[in-house]
Amino acid sequence: MQKYTKISAIQEILLSEKRKGKKIGFVPTMGFLHEGHLTLAERARQENDIVVMSIFVNPLQFGPNEDFESYPRDPERDAGLAQSAGVDMLFLPEAEEMYSGSSIKMHVTERTDVLCGSRREGHFDGVATVVSKLFNIAGPDNAYFGLKDAQQVAVIEGLVNDLNFPVNIVRVPTVREEDGLAKSSRNVYLSEAEREEAPVLYRSLMDAETFISEGESNPETIISHIQNRITAETSGEIDYIEIYSFPELKEIRELHGEFIIALAVKFQKARLIDNIIIKRTQEEKQNV
Ligand code: AMP
């Protein structure tokens, strides 16, 4: 595995590999790698000739009171893990390398007025900026994103469509701990007691799925079930529990088509997000 910190160096070699007809798979991350990230890399390994991973804690996507400074970092451990997952090229730029100019500002206008987008001002503008730059640097055929960050997937799909990036976005299902907690670099912020409670987030989403399969079709009823369980069984403060069509992220009155149930819960030091995406046809609805 080769490491790069300079844009021109990795861009040049990837351009020449592309000209030789090599297929490039790209996995953008902020590092502190866990099995979620590695699953993306392994999937990229199976589907491409060259696997590129970036590790960059992107200052643009953090708000002023967020955890940019304290975000967990361990580049040496990450390099070993990336190599074992089959990554060929690891791109680790400094912020100065990525943001030397400031003549363009991106602003995402769709799919950002709900969920994390409405609570983290400018977050998805920062994500769209860095992902656009990384796509131009890596020139991937396929880029891998986790559904753990489903709104990010929705925004990136909109970005690729609007700006005509010649890249296929691959949605990868959420990788979980055995007890159901979605793997996240931020799980290290949880206290021991909070770590015990945290799987309730996913369990409450699973309850919701069961209620829906039994015929419940009112989003409000589902939301209050989830709310009640999280309030009763955790010390976390609910930031949001919301249901929208996916990937459009528009309000829906009845649960059919493809929709997302997404939540964010704040613990002492960690804000955890999770979601499930459900596809329910009109037929299934009538058969209940
Ligand atoms: P991050 O380093 O948190 O920015 O994540 C980098 C990529 O890994 C994003 O596409 C995330 O959605 C994805 N990812 C993070 N956690 C998971 C997980 N538990 N399962 C699947 N993908 C994940």
CATH of the domain at 278: 3.30.1300.10
Same domain, 138 and 246: no
Q: Which domain holds residue 118?
A: 2-172
Distance from residue 274's CA to the centre of ligand 1 (Å): 11
CA 92 to chain centre: 19
223 CB-near residues (< 8 Å, 6+ apart): 241, 242, 243
Q: Which of 117, 141, 172 is the last residue of a domain?
A: 172
- pLDDT higher than 60, residue 271: yes
What percentage of residues in the chain have a pLDDT greater than 70? Answer: 98
Same domain, 152 and 233: no
Residue 202 near residue 228, CB atoms below 8 Å: no
Same domain, 87 and 151: yes
Q: What is the overall mean pLDDT for the chain?
A: 96
Q: Which of 172, 205, 222 is the last residue of a domain?
A: 172
**For residue 286, what pLDDT is reported?**
60
Question: Positive or negative CA dihedral for 216, 221, 223, 226?
Answer: negative
pLDDT tens for each residue of 139-187: 999 999 999 999 999 999 999 999 999 999 999 999 999 999 999 999 9
**For residue 287, what pLDDT is reported?**
57
Same domain, 87 and 224: no
Distance from residue 149's CA to the centre of ligand 1 (Å): 7
Same domain, 233 and 98: no
Ligand 1: residues whose CB is within 6 Å?
29-30, 36-37, 39-40, 145-146, 148-149, 172, 174-175, 182-185
pTM for the whole thing? 0.96
**For residue 101, what pLDDT is reported?**
83
Going by the DSSP 8-state scheme, the letter that residue 99 receives in this structure is -
- Total structural domains in the chain? 2
Same domain, 70 and 164: yes
Same domain, 11 and 109: yes
Nearest Cα residue to atom 7 of ligand 1: 29
Same domain, 83 and 142: yes
Q: Which of 172, 195, 223 is the last residue of a domain?
A: 172
Active site residues: 37
Q: Which of 66, 77, 148, 205 to mutate to test the pocket of ligand 1 (most atoms within 8 A of CB)?
A: 148
Nearest Cα residue to atom 8 of ligand 1: 37
What is the distance between the alpha carbons of residues 104 and 95, in angstroms, rounded to a whole number? Answer: 16
CATH of the domain at 18: 3.40.50.620
Question: Positive or negative CA dihedral for 173, 175, 181, 182?
Answer: negative
Distance from residue 282's CA to the centre of ligand 1 (Å): 32
pLDDT grade for 281, boundaries at 50, 70 and 90: confident
